[in-house]
Structure 1
Amino acid sequence: MKRLTAEDLKARMTTYINTTYRLDVKEATEEEVFYALAAVVNEQVKPLWDKTNERYKSEQTRQVYYLSMEFLIGRLIESNLLNLGMLKEANQALQELGFQAEDVFTVEQDAALGNGGLGRLAACFLDSLASLNYPGHGYGIRYRYGLFEQRIIHGNQVELPDYWLKKPYPWEVRREEEACVVQFQGIVRMHQRRNGSLEINHEHTDKVLAVPYDVPVIGYENETVNTLRLWSAEPVSGAPDNSGDQEEFYHHLDFEHSIEQLSGFLYPDDSSYEGKELRLKQQYFLVSASVQNMIKQFKKNYRLSSKHFPEKIVIQINDTHPSLSIPELMRILMDEEDLGWDEAWEITTRVFAYTNHTTLSEALETWPIAMMQKLLPRIYMIIDEINERFCQGIWFDHKEKRDKIPELAIIADEQVHMARLAIVASFSVNGVANIHTEILKKKEMKEFHELYPERFNNKTNGITHRRWLMQVNPKLTSLIQDIIGDQWVKRPKQLISLLRFQHDKDVLEQFAKVKNENKLALANFIHQQMGITVDDQSIFDVQIKRLHEYKRQLLNVFHIIYLYNELKENPNLDMTPRTFIFGAKAAPSYHLAKEVIKLINTVASIVNYDKDTKGKLKVIFLENYNVSLAEKIIPAAEISEQISTASKEASGTGNMKFMMNGALTMGTMDGANVEIYDLVGEENMFIFGLRAEEVLDYYQHGGYHARDIYNKDDRVRRILDQLNNGEFGTHDIEFKDIYYNILYHNDPYFVLKDFEPYIEAHEYAESVYRDKMKWQRMSLINIAHSGKFSSDRTIQEYVNDIWKINPT
């Protein structure tokens, strides 16, 4: 397809504004110009999208479907323009029309379809699938409201509704003709047919209409456009005949309201029974609509019997949230396609692959039996039968594991264990970093690994370099292309060619200049947003991620308090100025995490305005962290804080984004930090703290006493006493929960244990920073090795080892 020039874009946008808004371009707002540009992009995308679908159908190609409760896609305008090869032309066209591109692009709301790394990973995977010409599509939920819009008021996190769909979303296409019905509750009746088979009737159900909205996923300069299908819950048209039954009528009204909730909120508060039930309904809504749709498309496109389903379809479930798709496929194959159990099970276990994203036992999903029986009676019956056959198989075929049945059983302790269901029914189970997969095999899922060693494999996460380098850091991209050409754009591992220039002073100075320009841009943004002036010559030290105890924002804050105490004692301390930048949301019901946000902001309010610090210390908490905010921060970062308790972070992808943009990792040997370490070596990052095996040993055998460190280390004691006595805060009970969690719950994430090595690592980092050329050389070496962490590499490994699909 012919690429549009800047002149073409100007002409088409002008025509759109003239005809749609009856305005001259000079009178148009940024919002009107944005919708005009989006309309031009969609004109380019539609024929490519249609041709891609037609190609998949005509070539009868095997396809992968990525099922995820989250797709954190962020804004799409720049990404779509970049992948169509029109971003520079669009920037030029907007400028010539009298508009700032950034002002036009920021009209688009971040699509609030996810929360953290899990959802962003799914978005990167879809980008790589399309860019590598693979037939792969996503299925998710079209949440009307995101997690929440975060505001910081008096230092506290305040949650406001994140209604991201209040303006039209230009990228989605409603496909009402492909809607399907999802059923909840009801009564299951069985009848034996004359041939001995069972006929299943699911009666008196509550029905919900699942309406798909399709979002195009555009490959990079290759004319492939895949699909992200998002389901919206709507009432089934036509009111039921209540025959004057008032109770039934009110039940129906109540259900109509609950339908809206199904695709209403990302992560409903599940601290109550009703919230937990809504979350389960959301999961089934996603998988039932998706699996029904897959089978319908399969029959339409391939005209084969369902027995051939695994030859043409592979389903990757992103964590346990979509694992109800397993019994749902069994239900359809048996109840609607009339297959027997053995045939249905053989098909199902050849279709599903499962990605695990956690080593946290509390994050391994379970559902109360009673809740599932009531809400999904037929699905529970199938899970119960899967469990029964699985346990019998262990009893008869693995006698040495009979005593392990309670910890292997899918249904145990009045709970349905979703990770166990996913492992039993999938042909592949993968972790997302080498260390994570080894912990799964040797500890968390040891018994399953011994049963099915051939199923377990590792697929280290990745990020799309198109978005996280080319789009967010055009100056760095341009410099790299000037130095080594542009072959790395299609083959990111070729960034390794930068190593030839690690001792070239002129090249290193050019890299330093780009970083300084990005720092200045972020400093201006911070001043614009918060009215705070930060020193753009200071070290920009960044921790942006979900707020969780294991990610240890608290360790970072303790270090800041330590530095502040040092400066208070000696205001003339020879210290390189530092700006600590945070971005994080805490789950609304996660009290301790919200306390840490309050602490960060309280420390900021004291440190930033204390004259004794002489501007050497600034603390910035940027509210409402999301993809667009990350895109502003990451290019300017110099230290990347990846300081989770070793063994707790499955992989991380923020570490990869920072590395690709030249920040140096301050981290524990956890998640993908280990693989960054394997590439760049200890001399090009700052590693500290307990190793995973030490943490796991403490958990298993004890031997750690936080109070001993409190008693021996006067720096630690002073910080904790400051929290306890109200020195940080407006009253003396403000941060007592943090104090008690550390000392009376024995510091469950080893903040005190890692405090001293963390301080030492930072002191070493500061000494290195003073040698500008050494720092810049380390930064270049990190960028050069970052190509390994492109999601293109990850997807290729999934394709080769799991999915077995071919590019078209």
Structure 2
Amino acid sequence: NTLRLWSAQATQAFDLSIFNAGDYAQAVRAQTFAENISKVLYPEDSTPQGKELRLQQQYFFVACSLRDFIDGQGPDFDLHDLPERVIFQLNDTHPVIAVPELMRILIDERGFEWEDAWAVTSKCFAYTCHTLLPEALEVWSVDLLGRLLPRHLEIIYKINEEFLDLVRETWPDDYLRMGRMSIIAEYPERGVRMAFLATVAGIKVNGVAALHSQLLRDKVLNDFAELWPDKFTNVTNGVTPRRFMKLANPDLSNLITDAIGSGWVTDLERLQELAPLAEDPEFRAAFAKAKQANKIRLRDRLRVRDGIELPTDQMLDVMVKRLHEYKRQTLKLLHIVSLYEQIVSGKVKASEVTPRSFVFGAKAAPGYRMAKQIIHLINAVGASVNNEPLVEGRLKVFFPANYNVTLAERLIPAADLSEQISLAGMEASGTGNMKFALNGALTIGTDDGANVEIRELVGDDNFFLFGMDEPKVAELGARGYQPGEYYESNPQLKATLDLIASGHFSGGDPMTFEPVVSNLVHHDRFMALADFGSYIEAQQRVDALYSDPEAWTRSAILNVARCGFFSSDRSMKDYIKRIWNTPPAL
């Protein structure tokens, strides 16, 4: 494959006349402005300037890539045959401006009539949706799009006009449906719904896990699924075993190869051959030895990288993912504070608590204030826990900075417990959950995203399920969720939140974390308090199994053996078969 890395430059980088007039900053302004387009990753978009830069970036990368591909076909290639050469996979809504850009190229530069251009364009794109959160489906304001890309907005209007003609023919006089399905939203401001544009233009629309794809059809894009039921499909995500097993976990990889041969690296389903070895005491011992070696390797990395002294004789309980309220790092934190509160208050003896090291890894969007406050709270709790003599040897909390793939390659193979605790119906898929399971961590999780498929494959006995499923979440939301009722009725939860609210983790200042506590008790959009009791019960099941090392290792081996489905090789084959309809290259 060819990987292009585009760089934006000004057509006139330096204006000598302005420089000679004494305005040195203005003289290079054009160059600075242009370089920002390919320099700033995920610009903070809560401001008009940030939104504008994001749209400029999206158009820039799309325009470069389309031009590069089309020019690469040669001067004699008939673009009417473009669908025979390529499918552009729209990876979420960010590149969807490619649809009007291809129309513009065909009509304005290559002289196509509208009908011919649309016949080509509507066969060249497929859309992968990566979210269920409405706010994550991009909507660009008509004002901004019209100012930056007026020709593209004109083309979008025309696409929408013809699409609404089809809706009108299919459901005459159903004006509410037309409003729901229009690519142009009217409220709260006029905007272009990029997910709708991608759905209208794409030959296929897929989600990235079985549950996610079902919810896309049933809820997020249900009107479109009713119009085009055959357009919707599923391709569950996968991860590459070359990086996230063979490279990241050589001890386990060598153990697997010695047991079943090397073919598993390119045919991950062969991991099933490991299942009988879960009953072999010698293999279990070797498996546990590899896990311990990975913990030591992680300890050594964190010691040098972050000055963290990670215990290697405790359960390694890991939650690494983007910091977002729906992923519920707060629920994990409430569990930690609950354990801490019970020990320091004397309700529970420290010796009765399973020794655990909790490791968080996360980054927050620049303008996401609540996420930043949650990061602050996790670190504050860690500072208290790690310096409290009463919990010494039982609880440790670490949040190494700048979580990235390099650290992941050490952390994931070392983990004992994988935290996948998003509110059911919110996570599209997740891939960290797959990486952890393939490396022999057990999962505690909700029935959300690809957790559903992991649990079905590994079996209920080897997965710690808790919490509401998606229909129950929807039912509770429809009734009117009142988080304060859970706070008042659960003494353990109340004591946990009250300790945070008291200022215990903020030098006695109750206002420092008041926004986090208040948000949970009075709003709690992602129902962490509703699932708290079930989560605590599931963690008790974790403790019970971990107290039996042989049983734990057996379950860990079965997780590895039964998760071969989650290979990126299988994902690519699914795209080839279900969407691209092309023979594989190899």
What TM-score, normalized by structure 2, do the two folds share?
0.95
Contact 2:91-2:129 within 8 A present in 1 as well: yes
Contact 1:298-1:309 within 8 A present in 2 as well: no
Q: Which has the higher strand share?
A: 1
In structure 2, the partner of 1:285 is 60
3-state SS in 2 of match to 1:285: helix
3-state SS in 2 of match to 1:543: strand
Structure 1 residue 714, shift from structure 2 partner: 1.1
1:318 aligns to 2:95 (yes or no) = no
3-state SS in 2 of match to 1:399: coil
3-state SS in 2 of match to 1:416: strand
Distance in 2 of aligned mates of 1:463 and 1:729: 40
Distance in 2 of aligned mates of 1:428 and 1:656: 25
Aligned pairs for 1:673-752 (under 5 A) are 673-699=451-477, 701-730=478-507, 731-745=509-523, 747-752=524-529
1:574 to 346, 352, 369: 352
In structure 1, the partner of 2:326 is 550
CA RMSD of the aligned region, Å? 1.9
In structure 2, the partner of 1:526 is 302
1:782 to 559, 567, 571: 559
Distance in 1 of aligned mates of 2:183 and 2:14: 39
1:565 aligns to 2:341 (yes or no) = yes
3-state SS in 2 of match to 1:752: helix
3-state SS in 2 of match to 1:328: helix
Distance in 2 of aligned mates of 1:258 and 1:418: 26
Task: Provide structure 2 residue ranges, at least 5 long, that are not aligned to the other structure.
Answer: none
In structure 1, the partner of 2:427 is 649
Structure 1 residue 416, shift from structure 2 partner: 0.7
2:201 to 408, 425, 442: 425
Moved more, 228-237 or 730-739: 228-237
Moved more, 291-300 or 353-362: 291-300
Structure 1 residue 531, shift from structure 2 partner: 3.9
Q: Deviation string for 1:189-218 (max 9, x for gaps)?
A: xxxxxxxxxxxxxxxxxxxxxxxxxxxxxx
Q: Residue 570 and residue 697 in structure 1: after superposition, are their counterparts in 2 closer, same or farther (change >3 A)? A: closer
Distance in 2 of aligned mates of 1:362 and 1:454: 26
1:626 aligns to 2:404 (yes or no) = yes
Structure 1 residue 769, shift from structure 2 partner: 0.7
Contact 2:13-2:31 within 8 A present in 1 as well: no
Structure 1 residue 541, shift from structure 2 partner: 0.3
3-state SS in 2 of match to 1:323: coil
Q: Deviation string for 1:505-529 (max 9, x for gaps)?
A: 1111110010011112212333334
In structure 1, the partner of 2:109 is 336
Contact 1:571-1:612 within 8 A present in 2 as well: no
Distance in 2 of aligned mates of 1:370 and 1:570: 60
Q: Deviation string for 1:354-401 (max 9, x for gaps)?
A: 000000001010011011111001111101111111112211333264
Aligned pairs for 1:475-490 (under 5 A) are 475-490=251-266
Q: Deviation string for 1:614-638 (max 9, x for gaps)?
A: 3100001111111111111001000
Aligned length: 576
Structure 1 residue 570, shift from structure 2 partner: 3.6
Letter paired with 1:629: L
3-state SS in 1 of match to 2:319: strand
Contact 1:571-1:614 within 8 A present in 2 as well: no
Structure 1 residue 253, shift from structure 2 partner: 5.4
3-state SS in 2 of match to 1:457: strand
Q: Deviation string for 1:549-578 (max 9, x for gaps)?
A: 001010001000011112214444322210
3-state SS in 2 of match to 1:231: coil
What TM-score, normalized by structure 1, do the two folds share?
0.69
In structure 2, the partner of 1:510 is 286
Distance in 2 of aligned mates of 1:789 and 1:664: 15
Q: Residue 609 and residue 373 in structure 1: after superposition, are their counterparts in 2 closer, same or farther (change >3 A)? A: same
Distance in 2 of aligned mates of 1:420 and 1:553: 31
Distance in 2 of aligned mates of 1:572 and 1:661: 30
Contact 1:608-1:615 within 8 A present in 2 as well: no
Contact 2:13-2:28 within 8 A present in 1 as well: no
Q: Residue 631 and residue 388 in structure 1: after superposition, are their counterparts in 2 closer, same or farther (change >3 A)? A: same
1:270 aligns to 2:48 (yes or no) = no
Distance in 1 of aligned mates of 2:482 and 2:351: 33
Structure 1 residue 704, shift from structure 2 partner: 2.2
Letter paired with 2:434: M
Distance in 1 of aligned mates of 2:334 and 2:514: 15
Contact 2:107-2:114 within 8 A present in 1 as well: yes
Contact 2:386-2:395 within 8 A present in 1 as well: yes
Contact 2:12-2:30 within 8 A present in 1 as well: no
Structure 1 residue 724, shift from structure 2 partner: 1.7
Aligned pairs for 1:362-373 (under 5 A) are 362-373=135-146
Contact 2:14-2:30 within 8 A present in 1 as well: no
In structure 1, the partner of 2:439 is 661
2:249 to 455, 466, 473: 473
In structure 1, the partner of 2:171 is 398
Distance in 2 of aligned mates of 1:726 and 1:578: 24
